[in-house]
Amino acid sequence: MMVLWVLAALALCLLSLALLLLVSRQLWQWRWAITRDKSCKLPMPRGSMGFPLVGETFHWILQGSNFQSSRREKYGGVFKTHLLGRPLIRVTGADNVRKILMGEHHLVSAEWPRSTRMLLGPNSLTNSIGDIHRHKRKVFSKIFSHEALETYLPKIQLVIQDTLRVWSSHPGSISVYCEAQKLTFRMAIRVLLGFRLSDEELNHLFQVFQQFVENVFSLPVDLPFSGYRRGIRARETLLKGLEKAIQEKLQNTQGKDYTDALDVLIESGKEHGNELTMQELKDATLELIFAAYATTASASTSLIMQLLKHPAVLEKLREELRGNGILHNGCVCEGALRVDTISSLHYLDCVIKELLRLFTPISGGYRTVLQTFELDGFQIPKGWSVLYSIRDTHDTAPVFKNVDVFDPDRFGQDRTEDKDGRFHYLPFGGGVRNCLGKQLAKLFLKTLAIELASMSRFELATRTFPKIMPVPVVHPAGELKVRFYGLDSNQNEIVTETEAILGATV
């Protein structure tokens, strides 16, 4: 009898809990429904706000790309949800995205999730708006000028060669995504910023930075052991290390020519009569590393995977390199790479364009609505957040045929599938907030592709390729294990050469 009473009580508790969850969820839905603009007759977008406080954040993390596609099929290209502690309207489609990107400063304003804003810092370019944003973009633009890229290229090439040599000397396979992260972090530290750090210091900073990146997009709940708290602690540690490196660099570069991004940033600030403070330098440095790290590592991993999957693409790439005198006897000719030379390689450009179409590293960008406007017959209320979707816009763009197929020739002169409408293809965003570093990112990826083409062989070390996860950036769900085999003989002394060149610039 006692057992029955216990079971009955337990059932009653479970029923009460279920009713409480149901009521609280309905109240949560209603709480956001009343935020519609009463002066606008258009309805709010359809969609679900999930559960109180957490919304659909865990659905988004666990479902990956299925989250967007399933809701797009159910609700259409414009739907509402609640992610990372904020109400959100997700938007897909060239015309819709165009309206958002071209509406900066009057319809919308950039505003990332609170965790991202706080961890990147109040002085970052990402968080700035209006005249401050325009001024900072002007300062930052010199970092990515043609002249600056020409200066970076030899050092980028040597860092890549050095890394590939290490990979090929490894007795077994390597985990490409993990190693690509180390490569892009090293490129940011050694090439962009010109920091002279020991391998031990570099590895420690890399570990801390990984913890920082893992929590940039987290629920903004500042509690012990929360991801947000871990991100804050990682940021504090990073800023201490960066301040030390900046001070050492300033002492060692007195009276020397400006040869890296941090030098250019410091000098550009002086030219505009606004010399950067140490806090601004630290925030700018952290943002540069962040911008150069996760997305480039993601694209680098995708590049290696696609070249493994499509050997015909790799061979066609080699043919172009041989035809332009860049590749000879299986190796890159010394002094053959210049920015203009790389830009003239049409098939290589098609490969990178297709890579960024099919495997765009980030899903989109955040904006805050300044005034209510219309999209697809729905009102987008003032005060709400909007996430325009890059990846889903690529997937649904009518100009692309067989969208799931990796086909670089779609961008060739005979087809040019991207010619009809600029907002069907936007891997680097658009409008006044398009990615400033896009030319550097493409230069890095093209140089990596060229160096990969010069290797004797690299092959998948497992039976199948891992599945792809889209959150927070595109990456393998499991490890992408690859064996790299020996580089050509004239590349054996790259480590010494790299150290000599990088040492001379810092």
The DSSP code sequence of 294-316 is HHHHHHHHHHHHHHHH-HHHHHH
Give the whole-angstrom CA distance, residue 476 versus residue 298.
9
Give the whole-angstrom CA distance, residue 478 versus residue 465.
9
pTM of the model: 0.87
Inside any domain, residue 120: no
Residue 492: pLDDT band (50, 70, 90) is very low
Give φ, ψ of 436 to 5 degrees: -65, -30
Contacts of residues 124-130 at CB distance under 8 Å and 24 or more positions apart, as own/partner, are 124/283, 124/284, 124/286, 124/287, 125/284, 125/287, 125/436, 126/287, 129/105, 130/105
Mean pLDDT of 290-318: 95
Strand order, beta sheet including 86-91: 78-83, 86-91, 385-389, 364-369, 108-110
Mean pLDDT of 272-281: 77
At residue 249, the pLDDT reads: 82
Instruction: Read off the CATH number of the domain in which 135 is found.
Output: 1.10.630.10
In this predicted structure, the answer to whether residue 501 has a pLDDT above a threshold of 50 is: no
In this predicted structure, the answer to whether residue 505 has a pLDDT above a threshold of 60 is: no
Both tokens assigned to 121: 């810092």
Length of the chain: 506
Give the whole-angstrom CA distance, residue 422 versus residue 94.
8
How many domains does one find in the chain? 1
Residue 311, preceding peptide bond in cis (omega within 30° of 0): no
Inside any domain, residue 108: no
Both tokens assigned to 217: 């997009």
What domain range includes position 149? Answer: 130-505
Contacts of residues 199-202 at CB distance under 8 Å and 24 or more positions apart, as own/partner, are 201/241
Mean pLDDT of 221-228: 86
Residue percentage of the chain with pLDDT more than 70: 90
Residue 384: pLDDT band (50, 70, 90) is very high
**pLDDT tens-digit map of 406-462:** 999 999 988 888 877 779 999 998 888 888 899 999 999 999 999 999 876 899 999
Burial label for 270, CB within 10 Å (0-12, 13-18, 19+), is exposed
163 DSSP assignment: H
Inside any domain, residue 303: yes
CA-nearest of 142, 123, 241, 129 to 192 is 142
Q: How many CB atoms lie within 10 A of CB 188?
A: 21
Go through 457-485 and write b for each residue having 16 or more CB atoms within 10 A of its CB, e for each that does not. Answer: ebebbeeeebebebbbbbbbeeebbbbbe
At residue 330, the pLDDT reads: 67
Q: Lowest-confidence range among 13-17, 287-291, 502-506?
A: 502-506
CB 166 within 8 A of CB 472: no
Burial label for 20, CB within 10 Å (0-12, 13-18, 19+), is exposed
CB 161 within 8 A of CB 491: yes
Inside any domain, residue 19: no
Q: Lowest-confidence range among 90-104, 154-168, 320-334?
A: 320-334
Mean pLDDT of 65-85: 87
At residue 489, the pLDDT reads: 39
At residue 504, the pLDDT reads: 46
Inside any domain, residue 64: no
Inside any domain, residue 63: no
Mean pLDDT of 291-302: 93
At residue 184, the pLDDT reads: 96
Give the whole-angstrom CA distance, residue 441 versus residue 454.
20
Burial label for 175, CB within 10 Å (0-12, 13-18, 19+), is middle
At residue 257, the pLDDT reads: 57
Give the whole-angstrom CA distance, residue 390 versus residue 387.
9
Give the whole-angstrom CA distance, residue 250 versus residue 506.
10
Give the whole-angstrom CA distance, residue 477 versus residue 473.
11
Question: What is the amino acid identity at position 276?
Answer: L
In this predicted structure, the answer to whether residue 38 has a pLDDT above a threshold of 80 is: yes
234 DSSP assignment: H
* Alpha helix ranges (H) inside 253-358: 261-271, 278-309, 311-323, 339-343, 346-358
Mean pLDDT of 9-30: 72
At residue 500, the pLDDT reads: 42
Torsion-angle region of 431 (φ positive above 0: left; ψ -120 to 50: alpha; else: beta): left
Mean pLDDT of the chain: 85
CA-nearest of 119, 98, 116 to 107 is 98
Give φ, ψ of 446 to 5 degrees: -70, -40
The label of the residue with tokens 């490890």 reads: 479
Inside any domain, residue 140: yes
Give the whole-angstrom CA distance, residue 311 versus residue 231.
40
Inside any domain, residue 57: no
Cα distances from 288 to residues 56, 143, 281, in angstroms, run 31, 10, 10
Both tokens assigned to 271: 């030219």
